[in-house]
Structure 1
Amino acid sequence: MLVWVYWIVGLTLVTYISVQVIKRYPQYGFAALTGFYIIYLGASQVLATRIILFDLGFYTFFAPAAVFIYPFIAQVIDMINEVYGRRSTQVAILIAFATQVLLILFIAMVNTLSPAPFFAFEDAWKSLFGLSIRITAASWIAFILCSNLDAVVFAALKQRFLERENKFRYDTSLNPYIWLRSSVSDAMNLTLDSMIFVTLAFFGLMPVIPLIIGQIVSKNVIGFIDNPWFVWYKRMLKWPFAKTRQTRSGSDTKRYVVVLVLLP
């Protein structure tokens, strides 16, 4: 149960802080969201080294611990896309990819060094951070393909249903078109990522079908559960944003208008 408390606190902090930065300091909004995106992505690489048991009562399976936070990576892509558009989202994806390449290079660099004679955790270090070229390549290929697919699908759905979304007269949290683009784009991202990564990384070494099913189920369940945070993000970015920015100076108001234009 405690894991869900940590999970909720993490998502809530990232979502709330992101909105506040975008509203108060629009020029730093993209940087803030990209920063959170990179943190979640880097953390998922570390957490993936631990395999955990999922017991749903009626079905039990194993999956990397990263499945708890990896779906929110797709959510952050949506958050960037919602405000800054597809092209900026793809720039953020490339920046995040570059940081992961650097992370691997740094780990490989440290692995070439000799451990201190009194360092008692060398075997544990190697078991956690011993690099597999095949797994690393599979991870990179899946990330680039699926993240860009997410960005394209989200932007296409937003454009396709923008008029209907704007005509919706009830509360933003009930708008089905906001839920639609986030849910569909994330589900496609997470499902395809599981299929590509597991197949490229483990085909011929172990049965891949159970691994694929386990990752698809766990990622999509958690991805669906975190959708309300995107809707909350969208809701906070609407009219309170306009009232807040209109009380600022003239130069600030201009910055506010630029950001607001990107919001339906």
Structure 2
Amino acid sequence: METVAPPATSPIPRGLFVLTLLYGGMTVLAGVLGFKQVAIGPLIVEAGIFSFLLLVVISSTIAQLYGDRTANRLVLWGFVPLAVSVCLIGLVLFLPVSPDMPAANLNAFETVLSQTPRIMAAGPVAYGVSLFLNVWIFSRLRGGGDSKTTGLMIRGAIASALSQAIDSVIFITLAFYGEFPIHDLLIGQIIAKVTLSFVLVPFLITGGVALARRLDATAR
């Protein structure tokens, strides 16, 4: 009996594989880091912004090298680690605590991981809208396909700034509207995210593109 060989499949590029792993980790880590506020000069931001900016950088890098369809699929699949992490956190919070665990440690754990339903719902909504918007703006600004470093940096900064501003509006409104006045918090977050988008994101995207290209080249 003749054996039929399975159809050949194209392996995932090494750069895309590494970026995808980083992306999944950042989707989960952003929610945890957000419980600490940090001061960067005059800017006061919640630390989750750093993970979220990396999500923007990774999605833009993938759109640049592998196309916006691949980047959009990555954003869509990012809901999977989000959902799994929420379920696992809920399970761990539900399980009885060990009598040997110090009360202070338990309180700290529950403070960080026990989020209100509004916050838990606002996070994925803001994530989906802002990341899809980032990929769309970044890809549309590409125009004729110019991939020079300057064009890449400008497109990354603009796409990140606009998408991060929308992210702040969605998340803060859904999570906190009606609980307390949100105007100052909203303006502060938008200013901080837009500023960091222009200061950090262009260089991170350039580095991400260079890293992915090098990984792809070494895999051949």
Normalising by structure 2, report the TM-score.
0.84
- Cα deviation for residue 72 of structure 1 reads 2.1
Q: Indicate the SS of the match to 1:42.
A: helix
Give 1:118 deviation, angstroms: 1.9
Match status 1:40 vs 2:26: yes
* Long gaps (5+) in structure 1: 1-24, 167-171, 253-264
The percentage of counterpart residues that share the same residue type is 22
Stretch moving more, 100-109 or 219-228: 219-228
Deviation at 1:69, TM superposition (A): 3.4
Pair 1:139–1:217, CA change in 2 (3 A): same
Aligned alpha-carbon RMSD (Å): 2.5
Q: Distance in 1 between matches of 2:208 and 2:94?
A: 44
**Structure 2: segments with no counterpart, 5+ residues:** 1-10
Structure 1: distance between partners of 2:27 and 2:36: 15
Task: Output the TM-score relative to the length of structure 1.
Answer: 0.71
* Residue aligning to 2:197: 223
Are residues 124 and 233 of structure 1, via their aligned partners in 2, closer, same or farther at CA, if it must alter by over 3 Å? closer
Aligned residue pairs, count? 207
Cα deviation 1:154-198 (Å, max 9, x = unaligned): 11111x242xx36xxxxx44x3x2223211111111110011000
SS at match of 1:69: helix
2:107 and 2:47 map into 1 onto residues whose CA distance is 21
1:149 paired with 2:133, answer yes
Partner residue in 2 for 1:131: 115
2: CA distance between counterparts of 1:114 and 1:191? 40
Query: Contact 1:187–1:223 at 8 Å: present in 2 too?
Result: yes
1:54/1:62 contact within 8 Å kept:
yes
Q: Give the letter for the 2:134 counterpart.
A: D
Higher helix share: 1
- Residue in structure 2 matching 1:181, options 155, 159, 178: 155
Within 5 Å, give how 1:154-165 maps onto structure 2.
Answer: 154-158=138-142, 160-162=143-145, 165=146
Distance, in Å, in 2 between the alignment partners of 1:125 and 1:221 is: 32
